[in-house]
Structure 1
Amino acid sequence: MANYYSIQDPILHEIEIKKSRFLTYLIPIQSEAEFQEHLASIRKEHYKATHHCQAYILEEDSSVQRMSDDGEPSGTAGMPMLEVLRQNELTYIMAVVVRYFGGIKLGAGGLIRAYSTAVSEALGEAQMIQNVSQMLVHVTVEYNQVDRFNYQLEQGSLPVTLMDTVYTDKVQYQLAIGLDVLEDVHKQLTELFNAQFVWDELGEQTVNVPREV
């Protein structure tokens, strides 16, 4: 079960509507201080822009939510942006839409659609992640066992996330395994290798893995 959903890396996406340019920045953040730092940087880079509208959500339960229309008519920018983030159940994320006014007014409805679309399209390019509580496990096997293990990974028959692989005199896989399937995975590997492998639990951690669709 996911602790929360967010995005992996920053995204910059641009659209043009009736000669106005809308540049959307989506950035994963952990605090309001981070939000302020990124916002200041964006304002500095786009100091000639008409508006720098904002929305962000923080905490695992999404309890911190803020938005700003930054000079656009009330409710036409920040709230639509925030609503897109909410609908995608995202947190620890900020969105800033920089608008360069093109001379044609869009009206309230047009602005709401523009800012919603700007954030939605940017999210379409983002790598969605889910933060989950998993056990980190080192599984060490002999080289003659590698093909069997890699085949299981490629087939997706093992509900694990491969974090790292180290090659020495043996091969060590670092796996992130959901707590609810930990025992099942250990049983599968025991049967696969006839108990001829090393299983070393490193401890429980929260990790980011691709979001399940």
Structure 2
Amino acid sequence: MLTQVIKEYKTVLNEAVAQTEEKKSRFIASVKHVKCEEEALEFVSRLKTQYWDATHNVYAYHIVGDSVIQRFSDDGEPSGTAGIPVLEVIKKTGIQDVVVVVTRYFGGTLLGAAGLIRAYGKCAAAGIEAANIVKRLLCQEIIVIVEYTIFGKVQNKLEVDEYIIKEINYEQDVQLTVYIPVESTEVFIKNLTELTNATAIIEAKGEVYITVDQNGKIINT
């Protein structure tokens, strides 16, 4: 069975921590990008060790690989009031490959089911925001080599079409490394060949996921 290739998805960039408080109960959300369930469980174990004296260490994770894996735990809170709200926040933000652990130190006042759902969801959302949501795009990395006389025209075309230029090297000719969404590769090569009257050297280096911020700027690869 062939695995469907995901061309674009959202995840978090950083490992982050955020804290909230509800009626003297302290909630601490710890968030991390993970690639597999093993990494998620290791993170959960680490947080349980770190916050060994906490009243609860609730968690949820959502991972997409060969199949979708999503798990949650209420860790002693009333069923449906902790792990599910955290998982729902993850799904609502549209992110994947992420684990969220929300630690609670009980403050002496019962919150009730509605209060727990609201408190765990609020803290999870704060943690995810602190971790910086980014987009991962499946692109073809392409090397383009052109003469200086047509470089300006090529660069302008790339910028107008909002393609991502990783780097430009000025040598005997100009070499550009460009990231093109996989579904646009054929059109890109065709248009660039026509633009340069087939004088450009165009070499596809392979597919790679790149990370971009909300403004489309490359963060890393």
Q: Where on the TM-score scale, by shorter chain, does this alignment land: which range? A: 0.7 to 0.9
Aligned equivalent of 1:66, options 50, 63, 71: 71
- State the 1:142 CA deviation: 5.2
Contact 1:158 1:185 in 2 (8 A): no
- State the 1:99 CA deviation: 1.4
- State the 1:180 CA deviation: 2.6
- State the 1:60 CA deviation: 4.2
Residue equivalent to 2:201: 198
- Asked if residue 114 in structure 1 is aligned to residue 115 in structure 2, the reply is no
Q: Distance in 2 between matches of 1:204 and 1:18?
A: 50
- Asked if residue 12 in structure 1 is aligned to residue 11 in structure 2, the reply is no
Contact 1:161 1:209 in 2 (8 A): no
Aligned equivalent of 1:139, options 144, 151, 156: 144
User: In the comparison of the two structures, how many residue pairs are matched?
Assistant: 211
Which TM-score applies when normalising by structure 2?
A: 0.79
Instruction: Give deviations 1:99-153, integer Å, cap 9, x for gaps.
Output: 1222222111111001111112222334333343321101234567666655556
Shift in CA distance, 142/102, structure 1 to aligned 2, threshold 3 Å: farther
Amino acid at match of 1:128: I
Q: Distance in 2 between matches of 1:162 and 1:104?
A: 55
Q: Distance in 1 between matches of 2:101 and 2:119?
A: 13
Moved more, 141-150 or 61-70: 141-150
- State the 1:157 CA deviation: 1.7
Residue equivalent to 2:176: 173
Q: Distance in 2 between matches of 1:62 and 1:110?
A: 33
- State the 1:83 CA deviation: 0.8
Residue equivalent to 2:161: 158
Residue equivalent to 1:77: 82
Which TM-score applies when normalising by structure 1?
A: 0.81
- State the 1:91 CA deviation: 1.9
Q: Distance in 2 between matches of 1:61 and 1:128?
A: 23
Amino acid at match of 1:202: K
3-state SS, counterpart of residue 180 of structure 1: helix
Q: Among all aligned residue pairs of Structure 1 and Structure 2, give the percentage whose two residues are the same amino acid.
A: 34
Moved more, 166-175 or 81-90: 166-175
Task: Tell me the C-alpha RMSD between the 2 structures.
Answer: 2.9
Q: Distance in 1 between matches of 2:59 and 2:137?
A: 28
Please, which runs of 5 or more residues in structure 1 have no aligned partner? none
